[in-house]
Amino acid sequence: MKEIIDVTNLNFSWGNNHVLKDLNLNLKENELVSIIGINGAGKSTLLKCLNRILKPDSGEISIFGEELSDVDLIELSKHISYVPQSIRSNFSMDVFDVVLLGRRPHIQWMIAGEDREKVSKTLRYLNLEEFAFRRFDQLSGGERQRVIIAKAVAQDPAVYLFDEPTSDLDLKNQIEIMKRIKELISVPESPKSALIAIHDINIAARFSDRILLLHEGRIIADGTPQEVLTTKNIAEVFNVTSEIVNMHPNYIRIIIKDEINEKKTNRTVIL
């Protein structure tokens, strides 16, 4: 498989806090890669470095063999779409028009029929047709999250960067969105990939081709879910005991049991 993104010796700090430490990773065509780790591990920071929202202290990032910093921003937005962890925008417009914003990198002078058709197809694909002419600012948090994901899909990039794309969704929509993302990047004639920061390790195990385990600013494991999600790795990173259940050859389930050797505080509950 052809590489889309390549990262070499990436470093990033917030003041004296060295968040990312000599990270090396790659993302290939038709690959869904999840990044897991505790809060503050650097998952969101890594995605923002890949999207030029943040500038690394050092290291190299290339996309399609070209240095990321040399790529024109409009051209970069054709290659990469990004869905942040929290949605702060409060668009006072219809959902259709919000999703249409994803077509901006492809629009030169005016909106074409193919842009509107792409939005319509995206809304159908993500089961959002009933929302098309509802006001975005009148939607629930989960509904807004689905619309912003649709905006990223309508952008039609080579790489999707998702930061906790299922955090505000109910269980049914979590599974549905992950299935759709997996389908999008699994078409051989369409070289797309997705890099997803996610907390739910069971969702990561079910849908990922590879998992990056990020701990204390470093990737300590990179491989298939079966290779990365071991009881040893889970104990080291999350400080919990776990049981790995083989559901079938390509899917494991992780059962979290308890904290590891931590001094537990007795709590008194007054009713």
Given a cut of 90, whether residue 91 has pLDDT beyond it is no
Which pLDDT value is given to residue 262? 57
Q: What is the pLDDT of residues 114-129, one digit of tens each?
A: 999 999 999 999 999 9
What's the rounded mean pLDDT across residues 15-25? 95
Would you mind telling me the total number of residues written for the chain in this entry? 271
User: Domain spans of the chain?
Assistant: 3-87+157-259
Q: Is the pTM of this model over 0.85?
A: yes
User: What fold characterizes domain 3-87+157-259?
Assistant: Rossmann fold (3.40.50)
Distances 89 to 81, 124, 145 between C-alpha atoms, Å? 16, 23, 11
Give the whole-angstrom CA distance, residue 42 versus residue 109. 39
The enclosing H or E element of 247 equals: strand 240-248
Confidence at 107, pLDDT banded by 50, 70, 90: confident
* pLDDT > 90 in the chain, percent: 82
Given a cut of 90, whether residue 263 has pLDDT beyond it is no
Q: What is the pLDDT of residues 43-88, one digit of tens each?
A: 999 999 999 999 999 999 999 999 999 999 999 999 999 999 877 7
Residue whose token pair is 């990737």:
219
* pLDDT > 70 in the chain, percent: 96
Confidence at 247, pLDDT banded by 50, 70, 90: confident
Given a cut of 50, whether residue 265 has pLDDT beyond it is no
Give the whole-angstrom CA distance, residue 224 versus residue 256. 19
Q: What is the pLDDT of residues 157-181, one digit of tens each?
A: 999 999 999 988 999 999 999 999 9
Give the whole-angstrom CA distance, residue 97 versus residue 34. 30
Q: What is the pLDDT of residues 196-232, one digit of tens each?
A: 999 999 999 999 999 999 999 999 999 999 999 999 9
* Identity of the amino acid at 87: I
Which pLDDT value is given to residue 116? 94
